[in-house]
């Protein structure tokens, strides 16, 4: 059959509260045009993030009931440990309440003043934890990753020459190399097995350990199966095992491919490192058999890790994202191609070519998507990633102006996605009438979370200015 169906049926539903455009204008005005400040009940389709927002299966809910809340040695912990060992093939498993806690532990040991941490692209919490320790976080994405129109299938790859140069010039200052799979900050694009092998080879040559930021490892494994030569006949669990066979350890946010609402872990091969991590774990997260998680949540992760590697699930997951990307691309709407693992990215620079980066075209588009159809998305452009030059005080742009529509796992159906396409299309038709956005007030760091904004009228379309609510 050509139709790829959602490989589940729905047992429990959560009503969506429908709103009118006039209501949404009022809500967003009160939120100072910042989508993070909205109440989630005023959102129709929430694509702000895929982190912890997915639906659990009936087997996961059953696992929740099985959860054992013993402080030490809970059977839930052993089921969790067994699942991670089986799927990742890494011996020592240390639970944490989410991914950033795992990163915090890792950089307590590997970070520090004068150290240099290379990655294909650090996720923002990874960068923050590395830098908070005093280390310098460096990104080496491959050249293809900057071209939003190239259909190269592994735009998450590491730039091998840049990594070699970094290892060469920094020597002992590099305590480990990280590879983020898929590359979240780089558009959810996957890393190929051959690129990972080449990274491993460099790590061997320079005698540095390799850690994988494994948040979306199963989506990455599926994209390897789909696009890498020689991988098409393999089972996802074998590809996943091969990925981790190259690593000395990994950090994981179970809120992504763990298919749960909260949780994470760090897994390592070296028993001495594991002991040191556990000593620190007990100070900030909890005892080594729960590490900040409830027993029931450990059980839900154990079940989720098996479900995420099912072929039918990954086939549907990828199809639901490609479905939107293909439809937008066919209509000439600028999206990042090929579709990444967990989100649709609209290129706001090409969507609104007349809005300069300093007027935040991505934020302008995110606002329009909410007003038009109650869709909540997230700007990943100069508002989130740009900044201010310390010396001159000049504003700095980001490399790209993107809007991310992250798709929660198993949460929305194809008709929800049809609606999303229709809303985007309608905003596209009115694109000439839209002005940019200005910051009214914002903190210096992470300004996208709490900043307050103002919409600017479009000077080239004065007749449309009255359409703006103020």
Ligand X SMILES: *Cc1c(COP(=O)(O)O)cnc(C)c1O
Among 92, 225, 255, 318, binds ligand X (CB under 6 A): 255
Spell out the residues 6+ positions from residue 433 whose beta carbon is closer than 8 angstroms to its own. 458, 461, 464, 467
Minimum distance from residue 11 beta carbon to ligand X (Å): 27
Establish how many alpha carbons lie within 13 A of residue 172's alpha carbon, considering only the half-sphere containing its beta carbon. 0
How many residues in the shown chain lie near ligand X by CB under 6 A?
Answer: 15
Build a one-symbol-per-residue string for 130-169: x at contacts with ligand X by CB under 6 A, - elsewhere: ----------------------------------------
Does 129 bind ligand X (CB under 6 A)? Our answer is no
Considering the complex, state which of residue 409 and residue 455 has its C-beta at the smaller distance from ligand X: 409
Rounded to an integer, what distance in angstroms lies between the CA atom of residue 77 and that of residue 291? Answer: 10
Does 77 bind ligand X (CB under 6 A)? Our answer is no
Alpha-carbon distances of 357 from 18, 345, 445, rounded to whole Å: 33, 17, 18
Minimum distance from residue 122 beta carbon to ligand X (Å): 8
Spell out the residues 6+ positions from residue 211 whose beta carbon is closer than 8 angstroms to its own. 106, 176, 177, 178, 179, 247, 248, 249, 250, 251
Q: Looking only at residues 39 through 58 of this chain, which bind ligand X when binding is defined by CB under 6 A?
A: 51
Coil, strand, or helix at residue 177?
strand
Considering the complex, state which of residue 406 and residue 423 has its C-beta at the smaller distance from ligand X: 406
- Residues 117-131 as b/e (b if ≥16 CB within 10 A, e otherwise) read bbbbbbbebbbbbbe
Considering the complex, state which of residue 264 and residue 361 has its C-beta at the smaller distance from ligand X: 264
- Which residue in this structure is represented by tokens 């290379």? 118
Build a one-symbol-per-residue string for 88-107: x at contacts with ligand X by CB under 6 A, - elsewhere: ----------xxx-------
Nearest to 189, CA basis, from 224, 164, 163: 224
The distance in angstroms from the start CA to the end CA of the chain is: 51
Minimum distance from residue 73 beta carbon to ligand X (Å): 25
Q: Which residue's C-beta sits nearest to ligand X?
A: 99
Does 34 bind ligand X (CB under 6 A)? Our answer is no
Build a one-symbol-per-residue string for 233-252: x at contacts with ligand X by CB under 6 A, - elsewhere: --------------------
Considering the complex, state which of residue 188 and residue 362 has its C-beta at the smaller distance from ligand X: 188
Binding stretches for ligand X (CB under 6 A): 51, 98-100, 123, 125-126, 180, 184, 213, 215, 253, 255-256, 264
């Amino acid at each position: 059959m050509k139709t790829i169906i959602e490989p589940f049926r729905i047992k429990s539903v959560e009503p969506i509260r429908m709103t009118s455009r006039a209501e949404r204008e009022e809500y967003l005005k009160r939120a100072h045009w910042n989508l993070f400040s909205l109440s989630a009940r005023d959102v129709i389709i929430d694509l702000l993030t895929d982190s912890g927002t997915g639906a659990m299966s009936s087997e996961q809910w059953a696992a929740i009931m099985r959860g054992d809340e013993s402080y030490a040695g809970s059977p839930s912990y052993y089921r969790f440990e067994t699942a991670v060992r089986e799927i990742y093939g890494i011996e020592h498993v240390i639970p944490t309440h989410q991914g950033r806690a795992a990163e915090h532990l890792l950089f307590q040991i590997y970070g520090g003043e004068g150290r240099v941490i290379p990655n294909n692209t650090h996720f923002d919490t990874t960068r923050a934890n590395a830098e908070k320790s005093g280390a310098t976080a460096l990104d080496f994405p491959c050249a293809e990753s900057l071209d939003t129109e190239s259909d190269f299938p592994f735009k998450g790859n590491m730039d091998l020459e840049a990594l070699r140069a970094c290892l060469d010039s920094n020597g002992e200052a590099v305590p480990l190399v990280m590879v983020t799979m898929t590359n979240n900050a780089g558009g959810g694009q996957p890393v190929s097995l051959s690129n990972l092998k080449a990274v491993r080879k460099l790590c061997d040559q320079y005698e540095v350990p390799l850690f994988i930021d494994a948040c979306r490892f199963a989506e990455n494994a599926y994209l390897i199966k789909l696009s890498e030569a020689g991988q098409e006949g393999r089972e996802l669990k074998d590809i996943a095992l091969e990925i981790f066979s190259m690593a000395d350890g990994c950090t994981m946010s179970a809120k992504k491919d763990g298919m749960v609402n909260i949780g994470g872990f760090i897994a390592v091969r070296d028993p001495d490192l594991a002991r040191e991590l556990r000593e620190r774990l007990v100070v900030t997260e909890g005892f080594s058999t729960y590490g900040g998680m409830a027993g029931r949540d450990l059980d839900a992760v154990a079940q989720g890790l098996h479900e995420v590697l099912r072929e039918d699930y990954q086939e549907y997951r990828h199809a639901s994202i490609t479905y939107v990307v293909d439809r937008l691309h066919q209509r000439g709407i600028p999206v990042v191609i090929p579709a990444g693992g967990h989100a649709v990215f609209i290129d706001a620079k090409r969507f609104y070519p007349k809005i300069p980066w300093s007027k935040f075209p991505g934020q302008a588009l995110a606002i329009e998507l909410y007003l038009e159809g109650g869709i909540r998305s997230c700007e990943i452009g100069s508002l989130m990633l740009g900044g201010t030059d310390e010396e001159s005080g000049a504003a700095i742009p980001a490399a790209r102006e993107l809007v991310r529509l992250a798709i929660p796992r198993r949460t929305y159906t194809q008709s929800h996605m049809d609606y999303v396409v229709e809303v985007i299309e309608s905003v596209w038709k009115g694109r000439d009438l839209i002005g940019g956005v200005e910051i009214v007030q914002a903190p210096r760091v992470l300004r996208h979370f709490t900043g307050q904004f103002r919409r600017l009228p479009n000077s080239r379309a004065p007749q449309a200015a009255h359409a703006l609510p103020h």
